[in-house]
A and B are shown apart, each in its own frame.
Chain A
């Protein structure tokens, strides 16, 4: 009996190996390449583990002024832009989206249902359907290549997403708690601030993480709205280097890993919020 259980475990474990290989093989190769020299990377057949590993590509990005090529300098600026933009979008979404989500879930009010359906509909509108008018206005106001234009444009997908997610979380706050606070003389805003917010902190963290991730990930608006380093985000910087098919390939790989680190670290830290967030963001209202 014991050996049958052992065989079952062994069989299942053997099944996990190809899955783990599929997940990790591309990443490990990317890491290995980022630690190689340009010369070694181009060997045929490839050296899976670099024979002369170097941290130069990472050092170039950490100390861009000492770097030989312009690639690391571009990366550093683009990462800073991405941070600025994603953080601003996240904060705006939490504050104004949180207020809207609470209202839709808990304050009885005439157009409640139609606004909810409208927000769900807005989440479905692709960026490409919004970009021409936004582009025309942005060029008219001379806002192209300024971070603010990306922050505003990103709200078009991030805000409906954040409202929908936070509404799902606020819905789980027991009505009785709010009612009790109300009988104690708390105002609506007081209830929101003192009762709902503290209970919904996990939901807020989850929402913040998702919004930050989609803002960090966004490519289409950034591609159209930026052409200089002033507002270029990290996905655009990477796409340009890849497109030009250039020079510092290993530097680009190190840059790609650094660009992936913030979202991956966020995802791993807040692991337990991810699934509830995925489901809330994708489904329930």
Chain B
């Protein structure tokens, strides 16, 4: 092996800070460890990097390029370069904007409901009512049920012919005839949202409940001594302290909700009359049903841009100093 260069390469400063006070290892030993480190680092990273290059980086780059082509689906179809035409077609299409609107509606309504109910349930568990451990335990079940099973279950519940929703409303005397709920244009999306809230509210509740449990009790007690009532303690002490956890839940859910596909596909198949087609669904239709891969690629690239933008917000909060300290 070649003699390693003298001096401390800057990127090893972290290692040096904790190795210095411990002992005085000979320079040769430390440098050879560094060499060993660099080689081992590549060795350990290599398999993951190769996989991610193959299934993440190359496909996303390839999709981006494809978005500039007119690419009909099919083996013998030729692709022609069309520049920004796919993006322009899309941006001028009313269907695109309606779909964006629907997707935002789904995202805002379902995430808000999950946050509000999740926070309430977290606070309820935190108050330790009788059976709170059972409640916490129960929350895991809806979250663990696979999305497709969840969707199928709600589809059966909403069913026009033998659904539980119709059954219960009829027995309560609220409806006189069975209603085809999923065919009502203004109901379908809300019913998909309800199914999503059942599935993902527990995720928010569990995260927030865990965060509540780590808050210092002293603050709460001190506020109580000072005469703050339960509501004031909740809004003015716990909520501000929970902000980091709320942000985490909020951002994780928003990114997920914006790309929703499975649950709409299974409950409504996009109907009635496109009322539950989300942006990912529209991408799926263009790519695999309409045979317009170029448009599909442009759409999916826009979804990526949005989610990456969310990721940047994510990173910004991630590298912020802890607010709870």
Contacts and interface: CB of A to CB of B under 8 A. Distances in A.
B178 A44 contact: yes
Interface string B135-172: 10111111111111101111111000110100100110
B16 to A, nearest CB: 9
Interface stretch (B97-105, B217-225, B235-243, B295-303): B295-303
Given A102-B44, A108-B15, A133 B62 contact: yes
A282 B318 CA distance: 10
A282 B252 contact: yes
Given A117-B315, A271-B137, A285-B318, 7 more contacts: A16-B130, A44-B162, A103-B44, A112-B11, A121-B311, A125-B304, A283-B248
Interface stretch (A66-74, A199-207, A213-221): A213-221
Nearest to A82: B146
B55 interface: yes
B187 interface: no
B206 A274 contact: yes
A251 interface: no
B207 A133 contact: no
Interface residues of A, number: 102
Q: Give the 6 A-B residue pairs with the shortest CB-CB distance, closest first.
A: A12-B129, A267-B144, A235-B148, A100-B48, A124-B311, A133-B62
A230 interface: no
A13 B130 CA distance: 6
Nearest to A266: B144
Interface residues of B, number: 103
Contacts of A279: 207, 210, 245, 248
A30 B156 contact: yes
B51 to A, nearest CB: 5
B37 A188 contact: yes
A126 B138 contact: no
Contact of A109 (B33, B41, B52, B245): B41
A135 to B, nearest CB: 9
A163 B207 contact: no
A85 interface: no
B190 to A, nearest CB: 16
A155 B51 contact: yes
A42 B159 CA distance: 11
Interface in B91-134: 121, 124, 127, 129-132
B1 interface: no
Contacts of A216: 146
A63 B318 CA distance: 51
B174 interface: no
B288 interface: yes
Contacts of A23: 138-139, 141-142, 198, 202
Contacts of A120: 311, 314-315
Interface in A51-104: 96-97, 99-100, 102-104
